[in-house]
Amino acid sequence: MTSLIAATATGVVLLALLAGGAAHLSRPAALPDALTAHRLLPRRAVLPAARAVTAAECLLAVACAAALLAGHRAGLAAVLGAAALVFACYALYTGYALAAGRGGPCGCSRSDVPLSSWVAGRAWAFAGLAAVGAALAAQRGDPPGGPAEWTTAALAAVTLAALLWVLPAAMARPVPPARAPAGPVPAVEGGR
């Protein structure tokens, strides 16, 4: 059971890093625009911070995949530990931005998800999964045994990663449409 949890946690973290890195690479202006909207960093630090975040996610995703393919448990534990720190930093940044009354898009995906406690919660969930994965990868133990366990872990990781990834967008409160004024509607020229 421990191996299934470790494989699932590792898969979720890998997928989150891949999704985040791909989103930042495919929309390179989204993260700098979001950081600018938050007004927490000096203007000249926005672009380097956005590039550092993108590089960290991409490099951690590649390192995680390489450690998995090589079967290098210590390397995997180190990568997952680093990912836990990155995700914890995201959660702390979001929490601070919200506490300071700052808003705007989160900048974490291709969609314009507003900064919210759901974004922070998702980052804490990814940080927790990465920490669990790191702790379990560092222990002696067998990987999932057989195709059924690997398939179960892969399906669980994809499902959990997808649910966590869309959670902030799903929980965003849309702005209600403007109400039409009460009363009779004036006639339009040429109309009835």
Q: What is the mean pLDDT of the chain?
A: 88
- Residue 98 DSSP class: H
Q: What does pTM read for this prediction? A: 0.84
Per-residue confidence (pLDDT) for residue 50, from 0 to 100: 96
Say if residue 72's pLDDT is above 70. yes
Say if residue 180's pLDDT is above 90. no
- Give percent of the chain above pLDDT 90: 62
pLDDT in tens, 1-20: 578 888 999 999 999 999 99
pLDDT in tens, 86-120: 999 999 999 999 999 998 998 888 778 889 999 99
Instruction: Indicate the range of 6-15, 35-44, 57-66, 135-144 predicted with least confidence.
Output: 135-144
Per-residue confidence (pLDDT) for residue 103, from 0 to 100: 86
pLDDT in tens, 131-165: 999 999 988 776 666 788 878 888 999 999 999 98
**C-beta neighbour count of 92 within 10 angstroms:** 14
pLDDT bucket at 168, cuts 50 / 70 / 90: confident
- The more confident residue out of 187 and 23 is 23
- The more confident residue out of 174 and 41 is 41
Q: How far is CA 159 from CA 77, 110, 114, 154, in A?
A: 23, 19, 23, 9
Residue ranges of alpha helices (H) inside the chain are 2-26, 30-38, 43-70, 73-99, 117-138, 147-171
Q: Measured in whole angstroms, how far is the alpha carbon of residue 135 from the centre of its chain?
A: 21
Kindly report the length of the chain. Answer: 192
Cα–Cα distance for residue pair 147/10, rounded to 1 Å:
17
Query: Could you state, in order of their start, the residue ranges of all structural domains in the chain?
Result: 2-171
Say if residue 22's pLDDT is above 70. yes
